[in-house]
Amino acid sequence: MSDELNKEIAKRRTFAIISHPDAGKTTLTEKLLLFGGAIHVAGAVKSNKIKKTATSDWMEIEKQRGISVATSVMGFNYGDYKINILDTPGHQDFAEDTFRTLTAVDSVIIVVDVAKGVETQTRRLMEVCRMRNTPVIIFVNKLDREGRDPFDILDELEQELQIGVRPLSWPINIGAKFKGVYNIYEQGLDLFTPSKQTISERVEIEDVNSPLVDELVGKSDAEKLREDLELIDGVYPEFDVNDYLAGKVAPVFFGSALNTFGVKELLDCFVKIAPAPQPVDALERKILPTEESFSGFVFKIHANMDPNHRSCIAFVKICSGKFERNVNYRHVRSEKMMRFAAPTAFMAQKKSVVDEAFPGDIVGIPDTGNFKIGDTLTSGEQLHFKGLPSFSPEMFKYIENADPMKAKQLDKGIRQLMDEGVAQMFTNSFNGRKIIGTVGQLQFEVIQYRLLHEYGAQCRWEPISLYKACWIESDDKEALDAFKKRKHQFMAVDKEGRDVFLADSNYVLQMARNDFPKIRFHFSSEF
Ligand code: G4P
């Protein structure tokens, strides 16, 4: 393995920031870019935010998403580190996109609003992190506003996110009386001055018992801080970076992204403790980033909504070796060799053609329909990456052809949209009808519009009352056959031909679980 490759890998940190909408993800992203020198004024990253819009106005959302291609991956240098932030859509109807993006990162930062605590979206995203043991750092935001007691927040984080927590900084008051944070990790006092552009003032102190602390924050707040820190030491075990890397304990920071407060401390700790690109599991074997041969997988496909330019960008996460422009690589699914003349990378908010990229990096490859989510590219080896699960959708509709002359176009359109990961399709084994499953109402509108405008096909939706689709399996073939026979009206197959049970209510699902103990029910396609 070459020194160059090792060096490049060691300096990379590829992560995503996740949060419930409005907790401050965009603001934090922007401030991180500010520190990386990737932008120079606050307010430059607003475009990646999908504003709250009526669900019917999805074109507007798509437009905003279109702009967000540029911010899909934000690369910048910080000291000796090369940082790649992968953006995740805030709108919950695009949660599936976010799940897939999480398969391409080595760690995440979760932003939580101090007044609201853990919200639904955060809980769901954390489930995905837990499945993969992704290391997590938590940033409790908006300390400049009135909020909850920090100890309560820690309890809630631990319970709701089912992960151990360890505060590495601690707030002195909150809201109007917020004075700053004590940095447990580096033993310093960061004093708060509300400002959107300047960085907080750091006072180095020997330890929290220093009289300087009383002088700076006042006697009673200093006392309270000391008591809190004692309590923290008593309740939470000392921070062990290995527990963090194993996804067992999440370090917690407090701050105010809007006021650029606590952000630099977060970033400084992050680059030190967050993992460099990690080994990735392929079906065949584990792939180490340091291997000389290139490998990577497509985790996201972004379609151009302009019907005159029907191109897409396939986002490839590099897992091992060096990726080079104009070199032949094997597209494993199609068995074709391909070379890419214009792969792009995303640095400092600019998208430009790159000659090479390393593990941890994301390259965007212009595509006209060759790629599917989950596709593997390699220097030659037959590899299939695991870990791009589909999740049990939340909404279901039958899709019907509304223009019999265009059946072929409809089939092709549906197939390609499913390959892009817009939604999931199940075929009912009983009546052969096709069911589209999504995480939000928006996707149905997106599909209908795109089928018409990109494929000239028309579809019609028909209601179906379903609660969940879950993948089933069993070691006992007889039990599986018996289940399928009993539930034959509610059986379907996914795009890979795997068995899926369509439960029309939670009650039915529970009964099925009770009645068929030998069947395993899964809510994600990977098990
Ligand atoms: P999101 O990407 O997670 O959805 O959240 P975003 O950063 O857009 O932040 C949501 C709102 O919270 C924004 O206000 C933002 O200015 C505010 N905010 C973020 N961090 C802090 C903080 O530390 N303190 C306070 N007080 N507010 C914060 P908005 O009014 O919705 O948007 P804008 O009009 O200010 O852009």
Does residue 49 line the site of ligand 1, with CB under 6 A? yes
Q: Which residues contact 4 (CB under 8 A, 6 or more apart)?
A: none
Does residue 141 line the site of ligand 1, with CB under 6 A? yes
Domain holding 349, by residue range, is 280-378
Report the pLDDT value the prediction gives residue 99, as an integer from 0 to 100.
82
Q: Which residue's CA is the closest to the ligand 1 atom numbered 24?
A: 142
List, in sequence order, the alpha helices (H) in 366-440: 407-420
| Euclidean distance between CA atoms 169 and 180, whole angstroms | 10
Burial pattern 95-125, b for ≥16 Cβ within 10 A else e, equals bbbbbbbbbbbbbbbbbbbbbbbbbebbebb
| Euclidean distance between CA atoms 7 and 484, whole angstroms | 53
Q: Which residue's CA is the closest to the ligand 1 atom numbered 29?
A: 22
* 41 shares a domain with 142: yes
Q: Which amino acid is at 106?
A: D
Does residue 260 line the site of ligand 1, with CB under 6 A? no
| Euclidean distance between CA atoms 263 and 173, whole angstroms | 18
Q: Which of 51-60, 225-234, 380-389, 482-491 has the lowest mean pLDDT?
A: 51-60
**Is the torsion defined by CA of 371, 374, 376, 377 positive or negative?**
positive
CA nearest 396: which of 502, 498, 487, 507?
502
- Measured in angstroms, how far is the CA atom of residue 55 from the centroid of ligand 1? 22
Higher pLDDT pick, 138 / 455 = 138
| Euclidean distance between CA atoms 291 and 321, whole angstroms | 5
Residue range 66-91, pLDDT digits in tens: 545 445 788 899 999 999 999 887 66
Report the pLDDT value the prediction gives residue 71, as an integer from 0 to 100.
56
Does residue 26 line the site of ligand 1, with CB under 6 A? yes
* 114 shares a domain with 58: yes
* 288 shares a domain with 265: no
Measured CA distances, 14 to 45, 102, 319, 370 (Å):
19, 10, 11, 26
Higher pLDDT pick, 248 / 39 = 248
Q: Which residue's CA is the closest to the ligand 1 atom numbered 28?
A: 258
| Euclidean distance between CA atoms 260 and 195, whole angstroms | 7
- Measured in angstroms, how far is the CA atom of residue 22 from the centroid of ligand 1? 6
Q: DSSP assignment, residue 494?
A: -
| Euclidean distance between CA atoms 180 and 201, whole angstroms | 9
**Domain containing residue 268: CATH number:** 3.40.50.300
Q: Which residue's CA is the closest to the ligand 1 atom numbered 31?
A: 22
- Measured in angstroms, how far is the CA atom of residue 137 from the centroid of ligand 1? 20
Q: Is 19 helix (H, G, I), strand (E, B) or coil?
A: strand
362 has which bridge partners? 317
Does residue 19 line the site of ligand 1, with CB under 6 A? yes
**Is the torsion defined by CA of 315, 318, 324, 326 positive or negative?**
negative
Find where tokens 């990379």 sit. 12
Structural domain ending residue among the three candidates 234, 257, 273: 273
pLDDT above 70 as % of the chain: 88
Structural domain ending residue among the three candidates 353, 378, 403: 378
Residue range 13-69, pLDDT digits in tens: 999 999 888 899 988 988 898 888 766 655 555 544 444 444 445 556 555 555 454
Structural domain ending residue among the three candidates 273, 298, 320: 273
Burial pattern 464-475, b for ≥16 Cβ within 10 A else e, equals bebbbbbbbebe
List, in sequence order, the alpha helices (H) in 261-379: 263-273
As for how many domains the chain has, the answer is 3
- Measured in angstroms, how far is the CA atom of residue 65 from the centroid of ligand 1? 19
Q: Which of 8-17, 142-151, 153-162, 446-455 has the lowest mean pLDDT?
A: 446-455
Does residue 256 line the site of ligand 1, with CB under 6 A? yes
Q: Which residue's CA is the closest to the ligand 1 atom numbered 6?
A: 24
* 32 shares a domain with 147: yes
User: Cβ distance 148 to 137 under 8 Å?
Assistant: no
Q: Please count the CA atoms within 13 angstroms of the CA of 27 that sit on its side-chain side.
A: 23
Report the pLDDT value the prediction gives residue 53, as an integer from 0 to 100.
44
Report yes or no on 220 lying in a domain: yes
Structure tokens at 336: 């074709």
User: Cβ distance 61 to 73 under 8 Å?
Assistant: no
Find where tokens 């837990």 sit. 130
Residue 459 has pLDDT above 90, yes or no: yes
Measured CA distances, 359 to 80, 271, 469 (Å):
16, 16, 35
Average pLDDT score over residue span 483-508: 93
| Euclidean distance between CA atoms 404 and 458, whole angstroms | 9
Does residue 25 line the site of ligand 1, with CB under 6 A? yes
412 burial via Cβ count (<10 Å: 0-12, 13-18, 19+): middle
Q: Which residues contact 489 (CB under 8 A, 6 or more apart)?
A: 430
| Euclidean distance between CA atoms 194 and 501, whole angstroms | 54
Structure tokens at 229: 């820190």
Report yes or no on 197 lying in a domain: yes
Quickly count: other Cβ atoms within 10 Å of residue 441's Cβ. Answer: 15
Reported pTM: 0.83
* 79 shares a domain with 218: yes
463 has which bridge partners? 397
Report the pLDDT value the prediction gives residue 51, as an integer from 0 to 100.
47
Does residue 23 line the site of ligand 1, with CB under 6 A? yes
Does residue 221 line the site of ligand 1, with CB under 6 A? no
80 burial via Cβ count (<10 Å: 0-12, 13-18, 19+): exposed
Residue 457 has pLDDT above 60, yes or no: yes
Does residue 344 line the site of ligand 1, with CB under 6 A? no
pLDDT above 90 as % of the chain: 57
* 126 shares a domain with 69: yes
* 220 shares a domain with 114: yes
117 has which bridge partners? 113
Report the pLDDT value the prediction gives residue 523, as an integer from 0 to 100.
86
Report yes or no on 383 lying in a domain: no
Q: Give the number of the atom of ligand 1 that is nearest the alpha carbon of residue 43.
A: 36
Report yes or no on 81 lying in a domain: yes
Give Cα 61 to chain centroid, integer Å: 19
Report yes or no on 384 lying in a domain: no
Q: Is 158 helix (H, G, I), strand (E, B) or coil?
A: helix
Q: Which of 209-223, 384-398, 418-432 has the lowest mean pLDDT?
A: 384-398
Report the pLDDT value the prediction gives residue 473, as an integer from 0 to 100.
94
Report yes or no on 405 lying in a domain: yes
* 226 shares a domain with 85: yes
Quickly count: other Cβ atoms within 10 Å of residue 193's Cβ. Answer: 11
Report the pLDDT value the prediction gives residue 200, as an integer from 0 to 100.
60
Report the pLDDT value the prediction gives residue 363, as an integer from 0 to 100.
94
Does residue 31 line the site of ligand 1, with CB under 6 A? no
Q: Which range has highest mean pLDDT (3-7, 40-44, 68-72, 343-347)?
A: 3-7
| Euclidean distance between CA atoms 171 and 179, whole angstroms | 8
* 302 shares a domain with 257: no
- Measured in angstroms, how far is the CA atom of residue 387 from the centroid of ligand 1? 33
Does residue 122 line the site of ligand 1, with CB under 6 A? no
Report the pLDDT value the prediction gives residue 85, as an integer from 0 to 100.
93
**Is the torsion defined by CA of 123, 125, 127, 130 positive or negative?**
negative
CA nearest 18: which of 125, 115, 163?
125
User: Cβ distance 24 to 144 under 8 Å?
Assistant: no
Report the pLDDT value the prediction gives residue 39, as an integer from 0 to 100.
63
**Is the torsion defined by CA of 355, 360, 361, 362 positive or negative?**
positive
87 burial via Cβ count (<10 Å: 0-12, 13-18, 19+): buried
Higher pLDDT pick, 399 / 193 = 399
User: Cβ distance 93 to 51 under 8 Å?
Assistant: no
Report the pLDDT value the prediction gives residue 348, as an integer from 0 to 100.
61
Report the pLDDT value the prediction gives residue 58, as an integer from 0 to 100.
52
* 360 shares a domain with 245: no
Report the pLDDT value the prediction gives residue 310, as an integer from 0 to 100.
65
Report the pLDDT value the prediction gives residue 397, as an integer from 0 to 100.
96
pLDDT grade, residue 467 (50/70/90)? very high
Does residue 90 line the site of ligand 1, with CB under 6 A? yes
Percent helix / strand / coil, the chain, rounded to 5 = 30, 30, 40
- Measured in angstroms, how far is the CA atom of residue 69 from the centroid of ligand 1? 21
**Domain containing residue 497: CATH number:** 3.30.70.3280
Query: What stretch of H or E contains 191?
Result: strand 188-191
Report yes or no on 386 lying in a domain: no
Does residue 68 line the site of ligand 1, with CB under 6 A? no
* 374 shares a domain with 443: no
Residue 111 has pLDDT above 70, yes or no: yes
Report yes or no on 37 lying in a domain: yes
Residue range 294-315, pLDDT digits in tens: 999 999 888 765 556 667 889 9
Query: What stretch of H or E contains 128?
Result: helix 120-132
Residue 199 has pLDDT above 90, yes or no: no
* 346 shares a domain with 203: no
